[in-house]
A and B are shown apart, each in its own frame.
Chain A
Amino acid sequence: MTTRPNPPPGEGARPGPDQGRDQGRDQGRDQGRDQGRDQGRDQGHSQDPARDGPEESIAGLAQERTSLAWTRTAIAFAALGGVVLKANVVTGLIIVAVAPVIWHLGRVTLGTAPAGDRLPAMPVAGATRLFIIAVTIAGVALLCLIVAIFGKSVPGALR
């Protein structure tokens, strides 16, 4: 299995042609990052805020961004339910009902952390929540597949 360098959040992988030339610089940067990460475990942020920026260096903001991402996901579910409602009322209502559940799952992330820039406590049920999301989306997609193939269409609704 091929691998790529482990980038810090918000930073993409470096292109291949530059890899050899920048190896030494990357190595130094990685060492600095690892050191910052180790220190970050104790203090909640790295020792290089100029590189991280205030948004990346404060763990509480990362937690808030994650909570907002959960909210966007819940809104996406509600939007999907709205579209499905046009085709199949029962299926649409089921999907709309899933939206608040998703939002509540996201609140678990927000509720387990102290305020400020201290290290938040990680939610215990992290893997379970994400597994539920993945299975729910796959199930909803299969429902939509059935509706798309066998359901009565409303042609021209977007005309």
Chain B
Amino acid sequence: MSWSNRLALLLPGAVANDTGGTEPDPRFTFANERTFLAWSRTALALVVAGLAIVQLLPPFPGVPFGRHLLGVPLIALGAVLAVVAYTEWVRNQHALRRGEPMPKSNVPWILAATITGMAIISAIVLLISAVR
């Protein structure tokens, strides 16, 4: 399946017209929706954190680009996470309707790896600014 077709399947109209399978138990549908909302809040939290780092923190002595190095990737990850959360919701809803196993998600791994990487970069920036 081409990328354009895959993207078209993610549009709300295509999801609403999905008549395959049967309507799942509302509790599972609500749980899927809450999971999407939780990821959305995580995305917003990343954006807030990134913006606060860039705009509100004092500059790191000796590392003039330090605030942008820490903040910009967090904001970008927030944008990506919001879109990925929606695609995950569509995939999960598709599986729930058909009684299929839930598709494996790599989002938690990506988020954990990014936060770990940012923590390491933060420590390095702080050490450099403390030495200078």
Are these two chains actual partners, yes or no?
yes
A residues with a Cβ closer than 8 A to B are: 1-10, 13, 34, 37, 40-41, 56, 59, 62-63, 65-66, 69-70, 72-73, 76-77, 79-80, 83-84, 86-87, 109, 119-120, 122, 124-128, 130-131, 133-134, 137-138, 140-142, 144-145, 147-149, 151, 153-159
Q: Is B132 an interface residue (CB 8 A)?
A: no
Does A134 lie within 8 Å of B83, measured CB to CB?
Answer: yes
CB of B50 within 8 A of CB of A144, answer yes
Q: A37 touching B86 by the CB < 8 A rule?
A: no
Contacts A7-B102, A158-B56; is A138 near B79 (CB within 8 Å)?
Answer: yes
CB-based A-B contact count at 8 angstroms:
183
Contact for B12 among A56, A69, A120, A128, CB less than 8 A: A128
Complex alpha-carbon distance, A155 and B61, angstroms: 12
Q: What's the Cα separation between A6 and B92 when bound, in Å?
A: 10
Known pairs A6-B101, A69-B33; list 16 more (Cβ under 8 Å): A37-B25, A37-B28, A40-B25, A72-B41, A83-B52, A128-B16, A130-B89, A131-B12, A145-B72, A145-B76, A148-B50, A148-B54, A149-B54, A153-B54, A158-B57, A159-B58
A9 surroundings in chain B (CB, below 8 A): 27-28, 31
On whether the beta carbons of A80 and B44 are closer than 8 Å, the reply is yes
Across the interface, name the chain B residue whose C-beta is closest to A152: B55
